Structure 1
């Protein structure tokens, strides 16, 4: 049975941190493919202004075009919101006929720490495995989380990541102030951002 990873985000813009986490998860868990799911209407970021979806999709396509195991999924963009992770996972499992243990939802350790604030977190951990990008300098309290979410620890896979800081907000800020974003996101993405005057 094929195993598939899911990495969601606003990808505004996508950066090497997203790509590195996806590749490390793919490699360490032997995933057949990783789906990049640009956020449509994430409930926790409704107040934030997002770049138009067609630009964010194109940026993702450019960033992943040289990796045949990476794919863009529009599952959250082609349906009305709000969009919850439980729904996204259910739709992708149905689309690919995946068992819960073959569906890997990739998140950062900071997202794991906030899991109790998510919509139906108990349902989420039963519907997929959580693949956590673990930074050596940050350790969420899994025991405390597991007290409220029984069975959580058994649903986690850990992927060690390098201590390199990338953030979409930093890239937006640097472009706005005329600073270089080289080596923070793929060069074809940078070309697209400048061509379309994004974040200026």
Structure 2
């Protein structure tokens, strides 16, 4: 029996923007996965969220459309507490043992993975990032200002396989939710670059990201 490969794309998606969607479709077109699952996070210790879970899910649904290769998972939201990527990946693996899961992360986050940990067990040296790197394959995407990871060094450390998506594939990661939020807060009704028109209308109708 062939094993399906699914890329997990976690994040706040506060709001989702065009780079998120372009990256998802590019990973599929490059055959790095057969499906990609957007996994919005609950409230996090390391990031303030501005839109509710319901609104973030609704905005994701608007951009995903009817593409059967892209799904939205509420798994982390249903956990209640944000437990970090390793716990999430293990949970997916337990729930879907027939699937090969890969984690999709930005180059800006890659260097910090060895220091990732479960925030509910935040006891100094109790890191689970190295275990994540050993057990799960990564798809790392380009972020401006962040270096491309050294593939040989990664494998030499005993980590699982890693794949790269960057400017040579037509992706440069130029949009950020934080910058889009600033424009929404102070832009006086103007649609920020990188924001889907349907998402922008939803934000206006539901009065999100207003001071």
TM-score by length of 1: 0.85
Q: 1:130 aligns with which of 134, 138, 144?
A: 138
Task: Describe how 1:28-107 pairs up with structure 2 within 5 A.
Answer: 28-45=30-47, 48-98=48-98, 102-107=100-105
Which of 166, 169, 172 pairs up with 1:163? 172
Shift of 1:74: 0.4
- Displacement of 1:97: 1.6
> 8 Å contact 1:6–1:105 — kept in the other structure?
yes
Secondary structure in structure 2 of the residue aligned to 1:83? coil
TM-score norm. by structure 2 comes to 0.81
Aligned length: 194
Distance in 2, Cα, partners of 1:76 & 1:163: 28
Whether contact under 8 Å (1:104, 1:128) holds in the other structure is yes
Cα shift at 1:116: 2.3
Question: Is this contact kept in 1: 2:105–2:139, CA < 8 A?
Answer: yes
Instruction: Check the 8 A contact 2:41/2:82 in 1, yes or no.
Output: no
| Residue of structure 1 equivalent to 2:183 | 174
**Runs of 5+ in structure 2 lacking a partner?**
118-127
Distance in 2, matches of 1:98 and 1:110, equals: 30
- Please list every run of 5 or more consecutive structure 1 residues that lacks an aligned counterpart in the other structure: none
Greater displacement, 160-169 / 132-141: 132-141
| Partner Cα distance (1:40, 1:17) in 2 | 21
Asked if structure 2 preserves the Cα contact closer than 8 Å seen for 1:15 and 1:184, the reply is: yes
Cα distance, 1:184 vs. partner?
1.2
Shift of 1:25: 1.6
The alignment yields a C-alpha RMSD, in angstroms, of 2.5
Relative to structure 2, which stretch is displaced further, 164-173 or 31-40? 164-173
Cα deviation 1:101-128 (Å, max 9, x = unaligned): x211000100102212211112112331
